[in-house]
């Protein structure tokens, strides 16, 4: 996958005191899911200055945003030390970088060293990615549910005398919320997180609900109208596809093999019922794949220890030699 790096980005990078090792595509550009409205996201892997190296300072450079020909180009700068540690933690971004380098091999000795580090792992720890996908799926469902509850309460308020006391209508609200303890509790009376005081009028409760709804983004409003958070669900499904690739091949292929499905989700060409079905099926499939790997949980710990030892024995000397070679 060859992506032309804008000259403005290259010029800016040449002015940095840190040495830039690689610039690779990220996000939809890497996944192969770009649309006409997509920005260009890049990751620049860099080595810290000699002073930062000696003091073991692994702080990150701030992101840089460019506007080139009406297109937003955002560069995320990641310290090489940080990349290694994020990889060991099972973070998707770091795993994607390693996978990209594996697929787009170069003869550069730096690339070879990074790949050798990754290959010291017997198995890549995908549990954080799976947890993210599960959390994302749960978050999507919970946020949509709460938005629906607030909207129902707003409609209820609109049908009542604004000068009625809410506490006198507790039985109605219990029925409205089907006794769901997440949103309705008695003694004291709490509705959707709001403690109902004895002198709380319907009109004041209505204003409170409006304020709560006002905190939701346009994305959530769209989610309420369609019954699904397209973006969040798409991210969860994408990560499940990536995990499956890792478990079967040891790395992620780019562009993503099932990118057409992700594009169709992103552009609204798949119904919400079908999207939920895909999410449920892929979660089940991924969890089943994990159970088929012998000693997965033992291997993930052993792999981390192996890679950490490699980094301790060869990582820092390698970087030291890299600095010496520049003199």
Hey, what are 313's tokens? 């024995």
Is 89 found in the same domain as 134?
no
SS3 content of the chain, % helix, strand, coil (to 5): 60, 10, 30
- How many independent structural domains does the chain possess? 2
**80 and 144 belong to one structural domain:** no
Based on the domain organization, do 78 and 132 belong to the same domain? no
**Whether residue 239 is found in the same domain as residue 163:** yes
pLDDT tens, N- to C-terminus, the chain (327 residues): 667 888 889 899 888 888 888 899 999 999 999 988 889 999 999 887 777 766 766 677 889 999 887 889 999 999 887 888 888 888 899 899 888 888 787 667 777 787 777 776 667 788 888 888 887 777 666 777 788 889 899 999 999 999 999 999 999 999 999 877 888 998 889 998 899 999 999 999 999 999 988 877 665 566 555 556 677 788 889 999 999 998 888 889 999 999 999 999 988 898 877 888 898 899 889 989 888 776 676 667 777 777 778 777 777 677 777 776 665
Domain that includes residue 317, residue range: 7-123+296-326
Tell me which residue has tokens 């700068």. 77
Of 252, 283, 310, the residue at which a domain comes to its end is 252
The answer to whether residue 80 is domain-embedded is: yes
**Among candidates 249, 284, 244, which has minimal Cα distance to 129?**
244
Confirm whether 265 is domain-assigned: no
Q: Is residue 111 part of a domain?
A: yes
- Residue at which a domain ends, from 252, 276, 305: 252
CATH number, domain with residue 311? 3.30.460
How far is 268 from 277, CA to CA, in rounded Å? 15
User: Is residue 262, in this structure, part of any structural domain at all?
Assistant: no
Token pair belonging to 299: 């291997």
**Cα 250 versus chain centre, distance:** 20
Please check whether residues 11 and 117 belong to one and the same domain: yes
Q: Where are the alpha helices (DSSP H) in the chain?
A: 7-14, 28-31, 50-54, 80-88, 92-103, 109-119, 127-158, 170-176, 202-214, 218-226, 230-249, 259-266, 272-291, 296-310, 316-326
The 10 Å Cβ neighbour count of residue 116 is 12
The verdict on 210 and 241 lying in the same domain is: yes
pTM greater than 0.85: no
| CA distances from residue 293 to 96, 132, 150, 247, 248 in whole angstroms, order as listed | 22, 20, 44, 9, 10
Does a structural domain hold residue 82? yes
Radius of gyration of the chain (CA): 25
Angle between helices 92-103 and 80-88 (to 10 degrees): 110
Report how far residue 312's alpha carbon sits from residue 81's, in angstroms, rounded to the nearest whole number: 11
Alpha carbons 205 and 201: distance in angstroms, whole number: 6
Same domain, 311 and 248: no
Task: Based on the fold, state whether residues 100 and 131 are members of the same structural domain.
Answer: no
Measured distance CA(134)–CA(237) in Å, rounded: 10
Residues 243 and 321 in one domain: no
Is residue 285 within 8 A of residue 57, CB to CB? The reply is no
In three-state secondary structure terms, 65 is: strand
Residue 38 placed within a domain: yes
Question: Is residue 141 domain-shared with residue 234, that is, in the same domain?
Answer: yes
């Amino acid at each position: 996958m060859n992506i032309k790096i804008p000259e403005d980005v290259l010029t800016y990078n040449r002015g940095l005191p840190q040495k830039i090792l690689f610039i690779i595509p990220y996000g939809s550009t890497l996944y192969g899911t770009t649309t006409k409205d997509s920005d260009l996201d890049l990751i620049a892997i860099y080595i810290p200055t000699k002073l930062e190296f000696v003091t073991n300072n692994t702080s990150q450079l701030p992101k840089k945003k460019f506007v080139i020909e009406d297109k937003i180009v955002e560069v995320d700068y990641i310290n090489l030390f940080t990349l290694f540690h994020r990889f060991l933690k099972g973070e998707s971004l770091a795993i994607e970088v390693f996978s990209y380098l594996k697929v787009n091999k170069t003869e550069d000795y730096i690339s070879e060293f990074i790949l050798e580090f990754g290959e010291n792992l017997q198995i890549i720890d995908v549990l954080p990615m799976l947890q993210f996908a599960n959390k994302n799926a749960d978050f999507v469902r919970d946020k949509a549910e709460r938005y629906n509850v607030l909207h129902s309460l707003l409609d209820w308020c609109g049908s009542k005398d604004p000068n009625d006391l809410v506490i006198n209508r507790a039985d109605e609200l219990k029925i409205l919320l089907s006794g769901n303890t997440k949103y309705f509790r008695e003694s004291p009376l709490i509705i959707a997180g709001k403690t109902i005081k004895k002198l709380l009028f319907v009109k004041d409760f209505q204003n409170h609900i409006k304020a709560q709804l006002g905190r939701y983004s346009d994305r959530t409003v769209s989610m309420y109208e369609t019954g699904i958070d397209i973006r969040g669900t798409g991210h969860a499904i994408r990560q499940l596809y990536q995990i499956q690739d890792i478990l079967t091949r040891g790395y992620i292929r780019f562009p993503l093999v099932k990118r057409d499905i992700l594009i169709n989700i992103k552009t609204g060409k798949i119904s919400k019922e079908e999207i939920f079905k895909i999410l449920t099926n892929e979660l089940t499939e991924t969890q089943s794949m994990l159970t088929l790997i012998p000693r997965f949980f033992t291997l993930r710990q052993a792999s981390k220890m192996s890679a950490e030892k490699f980094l301790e024995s060869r990582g820092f000397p390698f970087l030291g030699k890299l600095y010496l070679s520049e003199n």
